[in-house]
Amino acid sequence: MQRTILIVDDEEIIRNVLKRKLEQSTDYKVHTAGDGVPALELFKDHNIDLVISDLMMSEMNGIELLRNLKAIKPGIPVIIITGYGTLDDAIEAIHLGAEDFIKKPFDINDVIETIEKTFRKLAEEADQREIIKYIEDENIRLAIPSDFEFLNTVINYVFSHLRARWLVNDENLHDVKVCMYEALTNAFEHGNLGIPGDEKSRLLETSQQAWRDFLMERMQDPVNREKQIEVNLQISETRMSLRVRDQGTGFDFDNHFKDVEPELLFRSSGRGLLLIRSLMDEMWFEDGGRALVMVKQRSGIAE
């Protein structure tokens, strides 16, 4: 089935380039709008599967558009594109349900990969939703291999279990899902595979393919293939805690936090800890930095 994407940006050249490249490289059908107001009309008139929106627009900005889209269709995935914006804007967008960020200037291959990653996550979550609600155990322990193919599956399994057992509003759940993704990605890339953040940034600046080739090479290293990521989820009536432990060498987390800047949120590498610290109620490290524990208090009971 052909998917339909809505692109919202007040720069005509950005809209046209994205539309042309996406339609040339994929089988997506693409609609465009120059501002949030006409975008909402298009959204109401067409069956849109995903929205890509600029953050800064004159008549209705990306935050307002995101809020309106979620009111109409809570499950609609929205990807934010920004060349400006503040940390508060970004955190608010995540609270409202934004799936990801793309920073201008962007590579079209990165945009396509972000779209496809979003659709994969939604499909895996839908497959698990009907079964997970029958699981009664509220403690989950997993030991997964160092393979990026497992990450989204594990995230969606844990997330679906939490949503079925812990009825809270979508904003709280989305915060947890974003943080799970960042924690597992950090454990995989920087923990078990031992990839420095600056090395990841350098490879991504070269090309998405260069980064993927490098990941595959590190994954195939016999030492790394034996490593696992341990995930422990505990849910009570009032809180959830998630512990993610890798088998890397650990890191000096006290000094690391001295260097965390809001600009990291818009980079491909280094944003994970900033997001987790901003979105979760508590966060701390154990075992010399190999284990990350994050806690979310239950609030906002779903109606």
Q: Does 124 reside within a domain?
A: no
* Residue 150 scores a pLDDT above 80: no
Q: How confident is the model at residue 192 (pLDDT cuts 50, 70, 90)?
A: very high
Same domain flag for 233 and 104: no
Residue 181 lies in a domain: yes
- The tally of domains found in the chain comes to 2
**Closest to 114 measured CA to CA, from 18, 1, 8:** 18
Residues 6+ positions from 275 with CB-CB distance below 8 Å: 94, 178, 179, 182, 265
Per the listing, tokens 């818009």 go with 266
Domain that holds residue 103: 4-114
Residue 53 lies in a domain: yes
Please tell me which residue, 17 or 181, carries the higher pLDDT value.
Answer: 17
pLDDT digits (tens, 9 = 90+) for 60-92: 888 889 989 988 998 899 998 876 555 566 667
Summarised one tens digit per residue, pLDDT across range 100-144 is 878 777 788 888 888 988 888 777 666 655 555 555 546 778 888
Do the Cβ atoms of 111 and 18 come closer than 8 Å?
yes
Residues 52, 158: one domain? Answer: no
Distance (Å, whole) CA 28 – CA 74: 22
Please indicate, yes or no, whether residues 28 and 91 belong to a single structural domain of this protein: yes
pLDDT reading at 196 higher than 70: yes
Here the CATH number for the domain that contains residue 164 is: 3.30.565.10
| pTM exceeds cut of 0.85 | no
pLDDT exceeds cutoff 60 at 303: no
Strand partners, 8: 33, 53
